[in-house]
Amino acid sequence: MLKIDPERLLGDLKHLRTFGATGPGVVRLSLSPVDMTARRWLAGRMSDAGLDASIDGVGTVFGRSRNAGPALLIGSHTDTQPTGGWLDGALGVVYGLEIARGLAECDETRHFAVDVASWIDEEGTFSGFLGSRSFVGENVDEAVRGARNRDGLLLGDALEQAGLAQAARVRIDKTRHKAYLEPHIEQGGRLEAHGKSIGVVTTIVGIRELKLHFTGQRNHAGTTPMSIRRDAGAALVAFIARMDEAFRQLADADTVWTVGRIELDPGSFSVVPGAADLYLQFRDASAARLHAMEAALAALIRDFNVEGRASVVTTDSEPPEEPVTMDTALQTHLANAAEALAPGQWERMPSGASHDAQVIAHHVPACMLFVPSIGGVSHDFIEDTAEAHIVLGCEVAARAAADILRDLLSRSPR
């Protein structure tokens, strides 16, 4: 009977936490010396588990089962944010490692093929989703040549320093890789609020990121009457209030929007701002709702420009990301496993955060499983999940993985 080893699972997660440990959290930025130390340790653990392990030419750690396919690929990332938690990404990678070991230790499943990946740079230290994008065959050479981290280090130079510049890059094998599973912490508070232990992800939300530039007239703050001011800062604040109301009329419970940064020019007490910038992001699992929000924003801008106190123009800060639906059949396997091991303690839900699964889902069927985040906190040193939930999540993922592989094998040509 397939079993995971809770002590081994938690031991690996806690040891991985020591690489870059900072108080209760972790600082392990992609391709930093401590990240490379962690990647070499992880490759060693994969080898110990009987996988053929390597670190590829962009930094992804990949463990390939020696069993013939069809294979289930399980992965996530082990790089962190500058103020990262110990489970974001790491949980899914160590789940993959433990599931590969558990399958190998069970007579019924020892012939199943599970490959395990720790994708490089999901968090975007240099170039977001670098590892998964490279894996599916996207051209990442431009990023290797030109992307820099916040200290100005070129990605290509970082790979050279890590000894990876000449290494081969791992690639998807569609004759082998038939499904992808990414377990992850929720990074939100929905499961905890609903008293649930497992989330089966339906969709990864789409994202829009925009910069709105307001132009008014710089002037003296003491001598310019309010009646004739063209205050770009005041216009920006008024615009946010209108935008908030317009978006609320379109939103459902999972729609979110954020003004992440505001900049005023010149930013002085004694000067009426002549220009102002607003950095806006909004997310939703519905493509139709995202398009409706874009249309509402465009209408607000037109109306604002007609009023004439300050003009507004908008540009994309990042290319738009469309929502990505997780494979229905794989969702069913996860749901069945959750109901078997945690009856009534699971729910279907969208992912409000981005994940490597959204890249891979365009090439092979993909699914995601969530476990609760305490207090809904992530991307912070205090990020945490109860050990009981960590263990249960791995048990559910392992059961689903075995069922997925049985299904794949039943449909595989003999």
Both structure tokens of 80: 């962190």
Q: CATH for 6-204+323-411? A: 3.40.630.10
pLDDT for the residue 84: 95
Both structure tokens of 182: 């990414």
- Structure confidence at residue 96 as a pLDDT band (50, 70, 90): very high
Contacts of 245 (CB under 8 A, 6+ apart): none
Query: What is the model's pTM?
Result: 0.93
Average pLDDT over residues 324-338: 98
- Structure confidence at residue 413 as a pLDDT band (50, 70, 90): confident
Report pLDDT digits (tens) over 166-221: 999 999 999 999 999 999 999 999 999 999 999 999 999 999 999 999 999 999 99
pLDDT for the residue 1: 81
Residue with tokens 């449909």: 411
Verify cis geometry, omega within 30 degrees of 0, for the bond prior to 266: yes
Q: Are 294 and 208 spatial neighbours (Cβ–Cβ below 8 Å)?
A: yes
Q: Are 209 and 354 spatial neighbours (Cβ–Cβ below 8 Å)?
A: no
Vertex 252: Cα angle to 250 and 254 (nearest 5): 130
Q: Are 339 and 223 spatial neighbours (Cβ–Cβ below 8 Å)?
A: no
Question: Where are the chain's structural domains?
Answer: 6-204+323-411, 206-321
75 forms beta bridges with 117
Within 188-274, strands assigned E span 198-204, 206-215, 219-220, 256-265, 271-272
State which CATH number among 3.40.50.10190, 3.30.70.360, 3.20.20.370, 3.40.50.2000 fits the domain covering 206-321. 3.30.70.360
